[in-house]
Structure 1
């Protein structure tokens, strides 16, 4: 059975339409992977089918199943992804100087935001009768897809850049995936994954070219709208880091759907944050002529030199009234430590990048101090412990003597006086 709520796949460049029930990744009217497709819906049909308790509990992203592009007879492959809490962050708010909330998507089953998309990918691949699924990844998508492929009983082949963090590569190996470390950049690994998809017919999960992957990611927008209803207030800003552009595009699409359907009053502005060494979407949004396709940043999850979803990301920023800005690697490391030390949330560098972005936006007057901000952390800190070590300076090593402790903290009497 088909997806009754999905109407077409529409090219974001030329508007050509394609059957959503076929496996097609990009519009063939454009060279390479430029013709990114948009999934369009019959929202009247969705409204009729959706019976979620808005403002109520969110057990997983499947609360919004009526919005998701899966066939009615598909066997859902899930690890209970989504449904992440929206935390008040009073200590972080005080440190930043603006009311800040944190949505910690590092709490997803494999430790990253990408689980929202991987559940859709494996569900659709199995429904299509495919046995092998693949993607290119800087690390998180590799771990995520591998876990869901294992859950769904599929073979998984992963392409990663040669400098991907070893912590992220351990996960897909444990999940039973074949991990192919490409001697080159993420973009080269990506291009190779597309080539093998065409040659071998493997199902490709790459979020930028597989039109249905953004659709899974948009559930974070649904959840933020739902949680705004519960709180009785829509945030002024929602802040994401940007790599390929899929995440912020999906989040905006999801929130906008709830706004357009009258489920929530108002919508936030989207702030997209990139590292200075990987600034392509920022540059495109601000109409810079010189767009560098070399990505150099310690935030490996957003180290993308040639983003494939720039069009959707820029549209999200423009439609929401938001903007894009850049932060340095040092600012990202400072933000990683700040988020952990103020709120007990351990994030990888890309997940802490939005916090660095809020600081910069406040300094530049983009965000006002009387506004409310949501930062979305997209990955758990154990994904990249080397960056955490850089952020903190490491441990204090001492001999097993009380005098060593006194050297650091003073005598017991002095410590009591300090308390």
Structure 2
């Protein structure tokens, strides 16, 4: 193996270091999965190897291979993830009363930002000769892992909570995965996946504990730094579930800043649902942290986030903050984003828009500041919530009179 640019895996709690070429998920010095590991790099080597033009042309996240913790001789398992569009959104800006742009990561191959992480972890699993892939998921990671497992030709066994949306489970089933619906919460499915990993030796993609997952997600930050070079937003907004996505986005952006590729960094705004608020509560030093998660935004419905330390680090280092939004506000934001700009987001992907609105109302974001929100998942992941946000179709008879009753006044006024 050859990963000269990767120096070590370091525990975020005690600083103990481990060989990055071994399969290790968390620091054994801590009970359970508290000892989350961080990949450390030699940036002199990365800087020497990275020879891509920063011209905004990004065919896939593998443009940044020099930054990724994969061996030099590993063949990427890829579906051309990354390189997603950054949109100017003038209609949404008018609606919210602030200059806002949107990066739509729902355009990734399986419809979710998580594809960035999955591509890296499956590449590593194949290179290390692993036979079976597994994870716990509320739906999106399940679909992502199943798709890339199919691409790699490996069996995939996924644990999901029994209440996971059926639309999300269709994807991994089509991709050929074994989908095991656990009669319990996401956290219970997660715990079972960890027990199975220990017992059977399957390779676990769980983003919170697989240290290489965040490293794939950080390509969204690298892309954003490149795409906004010369026009860095004041605020960069992500929804938060386990906490690894917002940290990945921050880490990537910060790396480009520290290497001198961009001149400044944004403040991070983390948005959680009121019914799944553990990271927000920890960041704001609340005494009572509820580990029960219940929200329409199932992708961020996490009661016991495993990457709270990293998420809070992103908020603190960037000078940012976090806030909570209600399910009603999330659904309203899904409708607003779609009707204003034609961008279709699942609830977790729309939560940042709800967060921007609330941050403006609370004076966290000023109206003269600029904002960039990241949509993490495509709306067809959860059509039930979309219908709840938008209402049902109007039923009419196959008769021109019914159409005239609805729009006749418009026709007469235009003549």
Q: Do both share a fold (TM > 0.5)?
A: yes
Is residue 132 of structure 2 the alignment partner of residue 132 of structure 1? yes
Aligned residues of 1:161 and 1:184 also touching (Cα < 8 A):
yes
Match of 1:51 in 2: 51
Structure 1 position 418, deviation (Å): 4.9
2:231 pairs with one of 222, 230, 233: 233
Is residue 291 of structure 2 the alignment partner of residue 293 of structure 1? yes
Match of 1:395 in 2: 393
Secondary structure, counterpart of 1:116 in structure 2 = helix
Q: CA RMSD in A?
A: 0.8
Is residue 62 of structure 2 the alignment partner of residue 81 of structure 1? no
1:252 pairs with one of 241, 250, 264: 250
Is residue 192 of structure 2 the alignment partner of residue 196 of structure 1? no
TM-score normalised by length of structure 2: 0.99
For 2:400 and 2:62, how far apart are their aligned partners in 1?
A: 54
- Runs of 4+ aligned residues of structure 1 deviating over 3 Å after TM superposition are none
For 1:167 and 1:140, how far apart are their aligned partners in 2?
A: 10
Structure 1 position 56, deviation (Å): 3.3
Secondary structure, counterpart of 1:376 in structure 2 = strand
Aligned residues of 1:55 and 1:228 also touching (Cα < 8 A):
no
Match of 1:272 in 2: 270
Deviations 1:220-259 (A, max 9, x none): 0000000112xx2111011000000000010000000000
2:331 pairs with one of 322, 330, 333: 333
For 2:254 and 2:56, how far apart are their aligned partners in 1?
A: 19
For 2:47 and 2:17, how far apart are their aligned partners in 1?
A: 23
For 2:366 and 2:268, how far apart are their aligned partners in 1?
A: 14
For 1:418 and 1:23, how far apart are their aligned partners in 2?
A: 68
Match of 2:142 in 1: 142
Is residue 211 of structure 2 the alignment partner of residue 211 of structure 1? yes
TM-score normalised by length of structure 1: 0.98
Match of 1:415 in 2: 411
Match of 2:344 in 1: 346
Answer with 1-10 or 176-185: which moved more: 1-10
2:354 pairs with one of 349, 356, 359: 356
**Structure 1: 5+ residue stretches without partners:** none
Deviations 1:150-194 (A, max 9, x none): 001111000000000000000000000000000000000000000
Secondary structure, counterpart of 1:181 in structure 2 = strand
**Structure 2: 5+ residue stretches without partners:** none
Match of 2:7 in 1: 7
Structure 1 position 55, deviation (Å): 2.7
For 2:412 and 2:32, how far apart are their aligned partners in 1?
A: 67
